[in-house]
Amino acid sequence: MIGVRIVCVGNLKEKYLKDAAAEYIKRLSRFCDLEIIETPESSPEKEKDAVIKSIKGKTVVLCVEGDGMSSEDLAKFIEKTAQTSQKITFVIGGSDGLDKEVKARADLKLSFSKMTFPHQLMRIILLEQIYRAFTINNNIKYHK
């Protein structure tokens, strides 16, 4: 079973976001060993050491200048990574983004949109897309 680590700058503050995250964490438990690492939020330059220290395995950095992909493409990426690596790390920056050194560590720079999303909400969106990818890869009716 592949390990999936999500490194998040900052933590979830709102109960509804915590509840949504908990639901996807529960759903994902049948497909992967999921770990969420939260690092303190300050400035990208001050955050970078804690973020880089938390990265393990293949690394996907979420950033607006990254490449977009479909849910099916993310599923293929996760499936291929599972065959060659024991762990994949997704990195979500804080409200001021990520330091260039963190981005330089990425095996993939991924953009969910050219729009800006709150980093707390982005965690939920990412968890849902990871869950969707696993359901696609396991032929479970969820993705339409």
Length of the chain: 144
- Contact (Cβ atoms closer than 8 angstroms) between residue 103 and residue 60: no
From CA 142, how far away is CA 47, in angstroms rounded?
36
* pLDDT tens-place values along the chain, 144 residues long: 899 999 999 999 999 999 999 999 999 999 999 999 999 999 999 999 999 999 999 999 999 999 999 999 999 999 999 998 789 999 999 989 999 999 999 999 999 998 888 889 999 999 999 999 999 999 998 766
Question: What pLDDT, on the 0 to 100 scale, is given for residue 44?
Answer: 94
Residue 87 bridge partners (DSSP): 3
64 three-state secondary structure: strand
- Calculate ∠ Cα 57-27-14, nearest 5°: 90
Residue 62 bridge partners (DSSP): 110
Question: What pLDDT, on the 0 to 100 scale, is given for residue 143?
Answer: 63
Give the other-Cβ count within 10 Å of 6's Cβ: 23
Give the other-Cβ count within 10 Å of 52's Cβ: 16
Residue 33 bridge partners (DSSP): 3
Question: What pLDDT, on the 0 to 100 scale, is given for residue 141?
Answer: 86
Q: Mind listing the domains of the chain with CATH numbers?
A: 3-137 (3.40.1280.10)
Residue 6 bridge partners (DSSP): 36, 90
57 Cα distance to chain centroid: 13
Return the closest-CA partner of residue 132 out of 61, 63, 71.
Answer: 71
pTM tops 0.75: yes
Question: What pLDDT, on the 0 to 100 scale, is given for residue 88?
Answer: 97
